[in-house]
A and B are shown apart, each in its own frame.
Chain A
Amino acid sequence: MKQLTIDVGGTFTDCLVLEESGELERFKASTTPADPTLGFFDAVGKAARHYGEPLDAFLAGVEQIVHGTTLGTNILITERGAKVGMITTKGFRDSIEMRRGIKNLHGSMFDIFIAPYKPLVPRYLRLGVEERVLYDGQVLTPVNESELRTAARTLLDEGCTAIAICFLHAYANGENELKAKRIVQEMAPSAYVATSHETIPVWREFERFSTVVVSAYIGPALTRYARRLQDGLKEHGFGGRLLMMLANGLVQVVDECVDRAVYLLNSGPAAAPSAATYLGGLHAKRNLLSMDMGGTSFDVCVIKDGEIPTTTESWVGEHRVAIKMVDVPTVGAGGGSLAWMDSLGLLRVGPQSAGADPGPAAYGKGSEATVTDADLVLGYIPADYFLGGDIKLEVKRSYQAVEGIGKSLNMGSDAAAQAMYTTINTVMANLITEVCTKQGHDLRDFTLVAGGGAGGIHAAAIARQLSIPMVIVPRVAALMSAFGMFAKDLGLEYARSCFRTQRQIDFAEIGSLYADMRRQALADFARIGIAPSQMAFQPTVEMRYVGQFHDVEVELPAENLNAENFKALLAAFHAKYEKMYTYSMPWRDAEFHTFRLKATAARRAMKMAAHDKASAGLEAARRGSRACLYDGRAKRVETPVYDWDRLEPGHRIDGPALIDDKTTTVLVLPGYCCEVDAYCNLILRSG
């Protein structure tokens, strides 16, 4: 049986097929924004044709599909979500609009000319009802049913198709929210109804409410999409399991995730880091920088000791999303990033992008200079073989566009292209430095895993700038997220907020919280046919020093605490704190906030096929040369070009050199050497 992963991105839909032998096949189709299932089946159709099978027969032979999609993120960013009504505790309906008082979410505080934040739910659709739960979970006032019905009726009459129920302290007791949900569902069986405590049962009302509102906003469209996809696959003979990639790096069956649609945000990029851990593992590297440079954005993830980091501090667009997400900071840097001159006469590249339309000047529509144009002027990209020849590039247009930037810099087009190349690399290097050093890591201990269609051209230059000794450009670089999805475990995360200092902690109470979460996990997994014996559990707790306001997440030694392992837990906390912030305060009491349980069921480990050592010489892979410009060299250098499909393990290429493939190009800078590993990945090293 085969396995498939399908990543629907903004521009391309990537499909990877893993055969039982471990061989991987790559397919790419255009994304079809109006109905992404079309692009999905285009990509699958290409795969079927490759194997010479009709679609139905091909799908019948597929055991499992893991699917990531940017649909949720796109709906949110482009404001095409559902009309959401919010029912909240009376007297508190503005929390999602006040947004903790943040004025400048992006940009400088000295900029005061900012349009007001537009919450996803306008004020007239945010209605308060009488109810109140206290911080300790006690119900002070049950839901006033008649007020609730009136509010729900008003929202439904306004045409809301999704209702977010947002009550204070619902994380401590969800009774009132559940009651409200039952009543709304009775009144409107087809509405998408989400409660704050079921979506994200943790404290802090703005963060929780904003998250559930986002969930309700993207929920209906994602539910429709997932159902259409399920039906389409069934119609075409697919009898296996369809799993969705989640923001937290786990995968889940459709039925379990549509009710908490917010977890489907960022579902593609969340997978890329596991591709990096897998590939790094092949070379015994556990400190990795996973990068993915596509058309508009550059994502990076810092993986220390093989651990993929997560965060609860994310904003998606202008909206706070507080669920735990794989920590993949992003910056507007990609092939489509535009060059411009700022008010102080400095060259800037990005974050604005020419997007897919008009795209880089070389595509023939736009006239502004993008990174792709600079790369083309420098000779790095093949004009005739971009995406395997699918897109013809017009070199002349790139020159014209870059020349325009050159004029402002008093440079010719060659030098301007060089400056753009360096500038965009600096933008990306700065992001890496910021996320890496913030956590106190030294970049020189890391290996860069370079994914994304544009990653191969820029990776070595970034590595050189940051003194990173080794770069891995995966064979599947342009489909990195899709590849990462093979490595994902099936899972769900549970959380309970419970505030106790280390003196107040009651082991029995914590034990019962975990027993409750475990019960829920077992029930959730039983519904999708997974036995307890296949499951693994990881308990963690968010804690801090008494009085602080930000947490550190620490693994619990066991779900049942006792005096002995509790001591170990405290020691682990002090140690982790010290590592993050250079000091710790063991003399100070710690306090505990949110207890979490991650339940996973491991999937069959992926095995990639290794290839034999090269039988042919390197020259067999040669496909001409291009005249390229390099930093610090006055003249163009005739640079040999190789065909990646014909490279074999053991081949070694000294820079300067270019390696083309139908999905990407890799630049081996002068002074770098490139080795082909057993899986046909490229390893770049300086010297």
Chain B
Amino acid sequence: MNKRARSTIDPVTLATVWHGFQSLCREMRSMVTRTAQSYLMATLKDLSVGVWLADGSTVAVPEGLPGQFLGTQFAIEAIREKFKDDLHPGDVILTNDPYHGGHNSHLPDWGFIRPIFHEGELLFFTMVRGHMQDTGGSFPGGYFANAYDIIAEGLCIPPLKVIKRGVEDADLNALIYNNVRFPTEIKIDANAMIATAKFAENRIAEMLRRYGRDTVLGAIHEMMDRTERAVRAEIGAMPDGTYSGDSSTDDDGTVLDQPVTVRVDVTVAGDEITMDFSRSDAQRPGFVNCVYAVTYARAVAAVIIYMDPALADFHNTGSLRPIKVIAPPGTVTNAQYPATVGASPVNVGGQVIEACVEALGKAKPDRSIASWGKHRGDYTFAVDPRTGERYVRTTFDYDGSAGAVWGHDGMTGPTTLTTLGSVQRGSLEEAEIRYPWRMLKLEARADFNGAGRWRGGGGIDWRALNEGSDGRMATGSSDGDFIQVKGAQGGQSNPRSRTLILRGGEKIRVKPHRMAEIKAGDIVVKLSAGGAGVGDPFARPIEKVATDVRREMVTVEGARLLYGVVIDPATLKVDEEATLRLRSAIRARRYEAVINEDTLDIELKPVGETKGNTA
């Protein structure tokens, strides 16, 4: 597209075309949630959609999980390379492969990619990617540790046409559905995603018909250029220099209790940014490895959230051009075939964005972002005695909450920074109807988050009773028993989390990345820390601390030890004088919340006195 054609597009058409793509994507995601049957997609919204140009340039990506879709250009380039001229209207390409041109995060995330033609010319690709309920492999759900290699993790589908010119490839589909659990259900979800891509195609065709090819493409390129200029200006306003961040996951599930670390060096030079992951740990035997496209997706997501929120509606290839991501092959941030990747959306995918957020906060302190509570997921599978059928259950219900940002406390509710909070919690009533677990508790716990001038969102206490059969619980999507996520600008890290099984008088601790037995009658308790804080907790306005105490988000003891605010436990009145004294004294000790595994209480202990994994 030449510059001259672009400059003739009037501003109103420009805006119309642009917002047309944005709203199309939102409709696409909504259509999948309304028609899918998997709890993950329909209720929790573990799915992403977007539109790309034929060359892989990102047009619109307003909705989804960064790791699922911000690196799609790599898959599109590979598809162009692989199929060359053999792409046709009505083709649908399916891939879930991290390797072989799939550039995907892990096997349960199936992506349906559809080329879109206009008068015989390939102009766009759409992609709909959702987390399938199953993808074969040794255990359901895809988040189990200790697979021998990627082949053992499940069915690997390189980019292949499941539909050719509108006609389903019966043989290929038969092979796929013969190798997954719940084939009927998975077929329903595939239908939902394929129908959504078709719907998107109709809408794009309508837009091309109305405005013409040159105007639509011209508008897209113009918006990319404008976005690029704006993002460059934002980066240019950051002081030049190199800023580092690191974050770790508890272990890799195979070599136990040995943290795995992602390290990033962010270099701001003029209006460009380089994210270098070279110092990260080497690729692991366990399942926490990230492929490059996924590391890339999370790294750019971290940069994007540091941009002016007024740009939030626009991001596209233009935002990505000034960002370079380096991750040498063989590191945990650029794993090579046949490394296992099952846990990578959570670990170390989560650590990629956490490390970047820390580094960028040093470059832009007045837009600091604290990390969020880690995912405390599991895949529980057993039999529901009410139907006699097998079930697999996972959810975000038991996760902690958002971290603080400069200017705002973290929200209680939103889960996992790595999804940017784009996933949702379920309904307990719905879950009890669907799964044989009776909920005993789901509530925030006082003091159970990082303190700060702006504190993290509340930590969560989740308890459920198994009314179904014996079975197993794979905690591959959990993290944070040992490694705490960081605050910013003096804000506190979040506390450590715990998962315990109460069986009779016994308390059985289940660490992340393990496979535990569950018995009928077990009570599973998840104490999931909330988000980390931003700014010194002693700088938190006194009345906000008092309000938190009144709301039982902070205890009287927490007010004193964490925030330096003295409150009378009987009247809940602030003792101004004592507070002033406490706040102006030198702090010999800092305190943090620690779970007492015997009583399940949240206690305050001096920082550094408690051990994590070995406790």
Contact = CB atoms under 8 A, between A and B. Distances in A.
Given A104-B421, A110-B315, A585 B396 contact: no
A409 B427 CA distance: 49
Contact of B413 (A117, A168, A344, A437): A117
Contacts of A135: 429, 432-433
A168 B414 contact: no
Interface string A640-656: 00000000000000000
Contact of B423 (A101, A116, A134, A207): A101
Contact of B552 (A107, A123, A134, A437): A123
Nearest to A207: B427
Given A101-B414, A168-B429, A430-B20, A547 B37 contact: yes
A100 interface: yes
Contacts of B457: 116
A102 B427 contact: no
A168 to B, nearest CB: 6
| Most chain B beta-carbon contacts within 10 A, residue among A100, A101, A422 | A101
Contacts of A423: 12, 15
Nearest to B432: A135
A585 to B, nearest CB: 7
Interface in B422-451: 422-430, 432-433, 438-444
Interface stretch (B113-121, B223-231, B498-506, B557-565): B223-231
Interface in B12-41: 12, 14-16, 18-20, 23, 27, 30-31, 33-39
B412 A347 contact: no
Nearest to B454: A116
B33 A550 contact: yes
Interface string A86-123: 00000111110111111110011111111111000011
A434 B199 CA distance: 13
Interface residues of B, number: 93
Contact of B31 (A124, A345, A346, A581): A581
B553 A549 contact: no
Contacts of B8: none
A422 B10 CA distance: 11
A437 B20 CA distance: 12
Given A203-B430, A588-B184, A111 B312 contact: yes
A380 interface: no
Given A100-B424, A423-B12, A94 B444 contact: yes
A169 interface: yes
Interface in B182-197: 184-185, 188, 191-192, 195
Contact of A343 (B62, B311, B401): B311
B23 A99 contact: no
Nearest to B428: A205
B408 A115 contact: yes
Given A409-B11, A423-B12, A114 B411 contact: yes
Contact of A116 (B62, B412, B430, B433): B412
B402 A437 contact: no
Given A109-B420, A123-B551, A100 B429 contact: no
Contacts of A100: 413, 424-427
Contacts of A545: 37, 188
Contact of B310 (A206, A342, A426): A342
A438 B443 contact: no
Contacts of A533: none
B395 to A, nearest CB: 10
A300 B198 CA distance: 27
B459 to A, nearest CB: 11
A438 B310 CA distance: 27
B538 interface: no
A534 interface: no
Interface in A543-577: 545-550
A205 B442 CA distance: 12
Interface string B278-313: 000000000000000000000001001101111111
Interface string B347-391: 000000000000000000001010000000000000000000000
A545 B20 CA distance: 31
A636 B441 CA distance: 69
B314 interface: yes
| Most chain B beta-carbon contacts within 10 A, residue among A116, A422, A499, A546 | A116
Nearest to B18: A346
A583 B195 contact: yes
Contact of A109 (B311, B407, B421): B421
B36 A346 contact: no
A588 B405 CA distance: 47
Given A112-B405, A205-B427, A547-B188, A101 B415 contact: yes
Nearest to B229: A344
Contacts of A134: 432, 438
B411 A124 contact: no
B433 A499 contact: yes
B100 interface: no
Interface in B220-240: 223, 226-227, 230
A204 interface: yes
Contact of A549 (B37, B304, B396, B408): B37
Nearest to B41: A549
A99 to B, nearest CB: 5
B43 interface: yes
Nearest to A434: B23
A108 B433 contact: no
Contact of B230 (A344, A409, A499, A588): A344
Contact of B16 (A91, A93, A205, A430): A430
A94 B309 contact: no
A158 to B, nearest CB: 10
Contacts of B16: 426, 430
B203 interface: yes
A101 B195 contact: no
B413 A102 contact: yes
Given A103-B414, A343-B311, A581-B34, A204 B427 contact: yes
B544 to A, nearest CB: 12
Interface string A123-145: 11000100000110000000000
B42 interface: yes
A93 B307 CA distance: 36
Given A98-B412, A101-B413, A92 B443 contact: yes
A206 B416 CA distance: 20
Contact of B312 (A108, A124, A430): A108
Interface string A319-350: 00000000000000000000000111111100
A126 to B, nearest CB: 9
A29 interface: no
Contact of B15 (A111, A124, A426, A434): A426
Contact of A91 (B184, B402, B441): B441
Interface string A166-178: 0011000000000
A582 interface: yes
Nearest to A345: B226
A419 interface: yes
Contact of B412 (A97, A205, A438, A582): A97
B410 A116 contact: yes
> Closest 7 interchain pairs by CB?
A103-B421, A98-B413, A547-B37, A108-B312, A549-B42, A91-B441, A123-B551
21 contacts: A91-B441, A92-B439, A98-B444, A100-B413, A100-B424, A104-B421, A109-B62, A109-B64, A113-B407, A114-B411, A116-B410, A122-B551, A123-B552, A168-B429, A204-B430, A205-B428, A344-B311, A438-B31, A545-B37, A547-B188, A548-B36
Given A546-B37, A588-B188, 16 more contacts: A97-B412, A99-B413, A103-B420, A108-B312, A110-B312, A113-B406, A116-B411, A122-B551, A123-B551, A169-B432, A344-B226, A346-B18, A426-B16, A430-B19, A548-B188, A582-B195
Interface of A: 91-95, 97-104, 107-117, 122-124, 128, 134-135, 168-169, 203-207, 342-348, 409, 419, 422-423, 426, 430, 434, 437-438, 499, 545-550, 581-583, 585, 588
